[in-house]
Every structure is written in structure tokens, then in C-alpha cells.
Amino acid sequence: MNAIPTVSVRHNRHDGNVAPYVSLGRSRPDLQPVLPSEPRTSTQISAERDAAQAEREAWEAARPDVLLNGSADDVAALDHRIALTKIRLDQLEVQHAASVIAEAQAQAAHEAEQKRRKDLHRKAMKASAEVEKLAAEYVTEAQRLVPLLAKIRERAALIEAANYALPDGTDPVPPGEPRCSWNGRSDQPHSSIASRVKLPALGTDAGYIWGEVAPIYGRIVHEPH
């Protein structure tokens, strides 16, 4: 009896599908490709489908010789292999169609996301140009506040000096602005708005247009520039 080709059938341990890997002669596990762990593309599935179709045609071409020279078991075994290949082809056809749809959806989602990002980038570029102008306006307005704050600071210093050495029987001089003291306590000295405002200059380590941060964390001091 003539030997007929044998097929190495490999099952995916995840879904049990028959993979389209065949060999002529004895089974050689070391020659069988490892199934990819990543989802297959429609192109990969199409290539598998072509290979399975070629396998099926090879089995069918060998059938007349097996009918002539083989046993009934040989014919039954070959027909079983042909049937398995046909099932595999049906699976690949369905998988290919599903993959094409999934890829089209993924491409559409990608294009939509890219459009969203381009729109966001365009708006951000416009915002960047606006911030540049606004930052320049901030510097102008901050510098305009400096003389005003300087006047408040000068008068606050005068009021503080007067209150430090009040004549007998004289009430303290009011600050002239809403009182601001530590924890709102009346027994704590008033902190003038001029001593609390901090107007940073633009850029890293550029200092302040008004106000400086002292070494004591969070404390703002104001010295003439």
C-alpha cells in the first residue's frame, strides 16, 4: 500500500480553531510556525485562506490515487482532512470579513481622532498667539500698578509709624483700607495691600515687577527697586 500524505493539524489553545499548517510525510513540530499572539490583519488572514485553499486542492488532487491504491481507511482519512480544510476555509472567510470591517472601523476612528487633534492644535495655536498679546498687556498693566502700590506703601508706612508712637489719649490712625491681619485678629498689625500684592515678571527667574519672595517660605516682602 502506498503511503499518503499526512497532515499536521494544530489547534489554537485559546479558541480551538484548526490552524492551516500541513506537512508531507512525518509530522515535524519543529517546522510548524508559531501562531502570532497579536490579532491578525485581513492581509494575514487572506494569506492563510490562500494557503488553506492550496492545501485543499492538493488533498483533492491526491484523492484519485488514494482511491486507486489506498485502503478504505486511507480514503476516509483523506476525506476527513479535506473536510477539515473546508471547515478551516469557511472559518477564514468569516474571519476575513470581520477583520475587514474591524479595520475599516479602526481607520475611521483613527481619522476622526486625528481630525479632533488637528482642530485642537489649530485652536491651541490661536490661543498661544492670544496669550502672547495678553502677556504683553499684563506687563503694561502691572507696571501701571507699581506707582499706585508705591503710594499706598509709603502712606501705610507713615500710618504705621504714627500708630507706633501715638500721643497720649489719641486713637490709632485707621489704615484707610479694609483691615487685613493674621487670622483676622484685631491685636495683630494690619497688612497693607501693597505688602501683599506680588506681580511676577514674565519668564523663569525673571523676578517680580512688584514684590519679592523672601527666603522665608511664602513670605512676600517689598523693597524699593
Question: Tens digits of per-residue pLDDT, 58-111?
Answer: 999 999 999 999 999 999 999 999 999 999 999 999 999 999 999 999 999 999
In a domain, 3, yes or no: no
**Is the confidence at residue 195, as pLDDT, over 50?**
yes
Q: How far apart are CA 216 and CA 199, in angstroms?
A: 18
The torsion angles phi and psi of 64, rounded to 5 degrees, stand at -55, -40
pLDDT of residue 187: 75
- Domain enclosing residue 187, as ranges: 138-221
- Predicted confidence (pLDDT) at residue 214 exceeds the cutoff of 60: no
* pLDDT greater at residue 12 or residue 139: 139
| Number of separate domains in the chain | 1
Average pLDDT along the chain? 82
189 occurs within a structural domain: yes
Element (H, E) at 54: helix 42-69
Q: Is residue 197 part of a domain?
A: yes
In a domain, 29, yes or no: no
Domain membership of residue 73 (yes or no) is no
- Residue 12 within a domain: no
Looking at residue 37, its pLDDT comes to 64
The one-letter amino acid code at 64 reads P
**Beta strands 199-200 and 220-221: pairing type?**
unpaired
CB atoms within 10 A of CB 65: 12
Q: Give the Cα separation of 113 and 103 in Å (integer).
A: 15
* pLDDT value, residue 60: 93
Share of the chain above pLDDT 70, in %: 78
Instruction: Give residue 201's pLDDT band: very low, low, confident or very high (50, 70, 90).
Output: very high
Residue found by looking up cell 485652536 in the block:
123
Model-wide pTM > 0.75: no
The DSSP symbol for 122 reads H
Rounded distance, CA 141 to CA 197, Å? 14
**Residue 118 within a domain:** no
pLDDT tens-digit series, residues 108-135: 999 999 999 999 999 999 999 999 999 9
In sequence order, which ranges of 70-212 are alpha helices (DSSP H)? 72-164, 193-196
Name 213's bridge partners.
220
Does residue 142 lie in a domain region?
yes
